[in-house]
Amino acid sequence: GENVEQHPSTLSVQEGDSAVIKCTYSDSASNYFPWYKQELGKGPQLIIDIRSNVGEKKDQRIAVTLNKTAKHFSLHITETQPEDSAVYFCAASSNYQLIWGAGTKLIIKP
């Protein structure tokens, strides 16, 4: 079945620096790739998504890139701020469901 691997599991960056989280997937039929942010005590919240017919998408400080040939996609956060501290999940569509990565805990150091 589909498998989504996410790295790193923990990422610590200085405030103002950039953060990059990477995911790989196995199902070549996957065509939808969302990223969710989960803050402590809350459910995940969609922050950006990309479809397989697009290579890159940006929304202010957040961007996602997709390489279909290599089957990987990445989340880029620029000019990180304290409120970016959270757990980030990637997911890939497969067989009418989302397969999720294990999550990345992003720590923003002041």
Binding site for another protein (CB under 8 A): 1, 4, 6, 9, 32, 34, 36, 41-46, 49, 51, 89, 91, 93, 96-103
Among residues 47 and 108, whose Cβ is nearest to another protein? Answer: 47
- Cβ–Cβ < 8 Å for 106, 88: yes
Q: Compute the least distance from the CB of residue 8 to another protein, in Å.
A: 13
Among residues 14 and 107, whose Cβ is nearest to another protein? Answer: 107
Q: Compute the least distance from the CB of residue 45 to another protein, in Å.
A: 7
> If phi over 0 gives left and psi between -120 and 50 gives alpha, with beta otherwise, what is residue 7?
beta
Q: Compute the least distance from the CB of residue 28 to another protein, in Å.
A: 16
Among residues 42 and 110, whose Cβ is nearest to another protein? Answer: 42
Distance CA 95, CA 5 (A): 17
Q: For residue 89, what are the contacts with CB-CB under 8 A and spacing of at least 6? A: 6, 35, 36, 37, 38, 44, 100, 101, 103, 104
